[in-house]
Amino acid sequence: MTSRKNLQQTVKLCSKTIISTVLVSLMLSACTTNIAGRKQLTLVSERQAIEASKLAYTETIKPLADAGKVNNNPKLTKRVERITKKLIEQAILLRPETRGWNWQVKVIDDPEVVNAWCMAGGKMAIYTGLINKLNATDGEIAQVMGHEISHALANHSAERMSVAMANNMALQMLQKATDASGRTMTLAASAAQVALTLPNSRASESEADEVGIELAAKAGFHPKAAVTLWQKMAKQGGGQTFEFLSTHPSPQNRQKALEKLGQKVLPFYKAAKKKQVL
């Protein structure tokens, strides 16, 4: 009996080892390098991420538009479009192939939501709660949207979708290879789902900070706005859980890192302002 039990345990262990080996091999063969020079897992291609984002964008925006909560303030909408237009121009210079993206931004009227995002393919949104609660300047809006655009430029959407796919594959393979109970697998699946809703990785956040502040500087927005933005975010956050902060981890050294990045991109800002004067 003991021998049979040991054999079963050995089979399970071997199965898990094989699964791990297969997944590692698959992940290594499905890696690409993004604009920041970091290798990413890309089981999902950028094109696939863009197509999936189109559907997600429609499903997100349509009910809000039907309720009259999209672009219902022409003056504010024009302001946001003016800012993002300058950022998009710089994004296209950085990645020329994105000229073919269907770039667009929506202003969502929700005074309680402090959030903004940019999906794969350039579809963006910013909530009035972020602008009004922070009393955001043009420069601070540019830093928010530059950061979000950078997530799209660095292919972070496809990367997160690929991680989700890898998690699902691992769970499915493990379920077939072991005699785990339905309850155990349900808990595992729930844990995987929770993991997918955790904040962006430090690596992707650092990339978006670095690329975003450069985009904004080249578009003519002073890099110091990146620091004041996060100062306001931290001050206003208090005991509240802003959606933006829940998906964008803010380590204590972030402001220092942004100050350092600001000094690095300051020449881009000065060159942009000089060009605007001429």
pLDDT tens-digit profile of 14-52? 334 433 444 444 444 457 777 767 777 777 778 888 888
Contact 182, 19 (CB under 8 A): no
For the chain, give every domain's residue range.
41-156+200-277
pLDDT at 125 over 90: yes
Confidence (pLDDT) at 20: 43
The CA-to-CA distance between both ends of the chain, in Å, stands at 87
What number of CA atoms fall less than 13 Å from residue 145's CA on the CB side?
Answer: 36
- Identify the H or E element spanning 31: strand 31-33
Q: Which of 51, 97, 140, 148 is catalytic?
A: 148
pLDDT at 53 exceeding the cut of 50: yes
Residue 240's pLDDT band (boundaries 50, 70, 90)?
Answer: low
Q: How confident is the model at residue 229 (pLDDT cuts 50, 70, 90)?
A: very high
What pLDDT score does 32 carry? 73
- How much is the pLDDT for 202? 73
User: Does the annotation mark 59 as catalytic?
Assistant: no
Is the model's pLDDT at 97 over the cut of 80? Answer: yes
pLDDT at 249 over 50: yes
Structure confidence at residue 253 (pLDDT): 77
Would you give the DSSP letter of residue 103? -
For residues 253-261, average pLDDT: 89
CA separation for the pair 178, 11 (Å, rounded): 9
- Name the one residue in this structure whose structure tokens are 């903004």: 116
